Structure 1
Amino acid sequence: MDDDVISERLRRRVRRDFPDAEVAKGVFGALRVLAAELADSRQGIERLLASAVFIAVGDIDRFISAVRCARSDWRDLLVAGGLGNEDWPSVLDRELGPRA
């Protein structure tokens, strides 16, 4: 899967939340796999991936739990990540910054 599946603004957030380069690399890899697994969910991939990152708040164990949650039910992931309501686009912009 292309690196492009992870938006630049989400990349910045991952680097900020996971400053250790090796940990961030692992997070990026897991996000790419998750994007492929959730491609049929009919939800925006950025929204789904951001939910996992938001849940983690920089903690790799919380991130792993978020990925497990996503694999079980992506709707639970969105709710837990704060992106389950109609205002999710504005939440994404507030948390990640505007789209480039």
Structure 2
Amino acid sequence: MEVFVAVTNRIAAVITDQYGVEASSVISLLEEAELRVFGQAASERFAAAIVIVANGSIDNLLDAIRLMEIDWRDLLVEAELADSDWLSKVDDAFGKN
């Protein structure tokens, strides 16, 4: 089952670990990007993909957001979340929901 909120608690926890005091700004960037691209909060899959690709780097985060804005499918491929097993990979990266 896909969750449709920009940033779930488990992804927010990883963002907090990776970005510390900048975490709320990172979460806002993700939420704003999803609204621009999809017109609403998207599947948890997209926020996870951005965080995976960014790997704690603000520059990589901005690049991942731009990639999603250009073609969200390329973002999923880059994060290795393009296949049907994406949820198990998200569980592995962020913990079980």
Could you say whether these structures have the same fold, taking a TM-score greater than 0.5 normalized by the shorter chain as the test?
A: yes
Other-structure match for 1:25: 24
Could you list the per-position Cα deviations for residues 9-48 of structure 1 after superposition, in whole angstroms to 9, with x for gaps in the alignment? Answer: 01001111112x1x2122111111122123369xx52101
Cα distance in 2 for residues equivalent to 1:38 and 1:97: 26
Q: TM-score, normalization: structure 1?
A: 0.83
The gaps in structure 2 that reach 5 residues or longer are none
Figure out how many residues of one structure are paired with residues of the other and give that number: 92
Higher mean alpha-carbon deviation, 78-87 vs 68-77, is at 78-87
Q: Does the CA contact (< 8 Å) of 1:34 and 1:49 recur in 2?
A: no
Cα distance in 2 for residues equivalent to 1:75 and 1:13: 23
RMSD of equivalent CA atoms: 1.7
Q: TM-score, normalization: structure 2?
A: 0.86
Runs of 4+ in 1 over 3 A off after TM superposition: none
* 1:94 equivalent in alignment to 2:70: no
- Partner amino acid for 2:13? R
The gaps in structure 1 that reach 5 residues or longer are none
- Partner amino acid for 2:57? D
Q: Does the CA contact (< 8 Å) of 2:6 and 2:31 recur in 1?
A: yes
Per the TM alignment, residue 86 of structure 1 is displaced from its structure 2 partner at its CA by 1.7
- Partner amino acid for 1:39? F
* 1:37 equivalent in alignment to 2:36: yes
Other-structure match for 1:6: 7
Name the SS for the 2:96 alignment partner. coil
Identity %: 29
Per the TM alignment, residue 85 of structure 1 is displaced from its structure 2 partner at its CA by 1.4
- Partner amino acid for 2:19? F
- Partner amino acid for 1:53? V
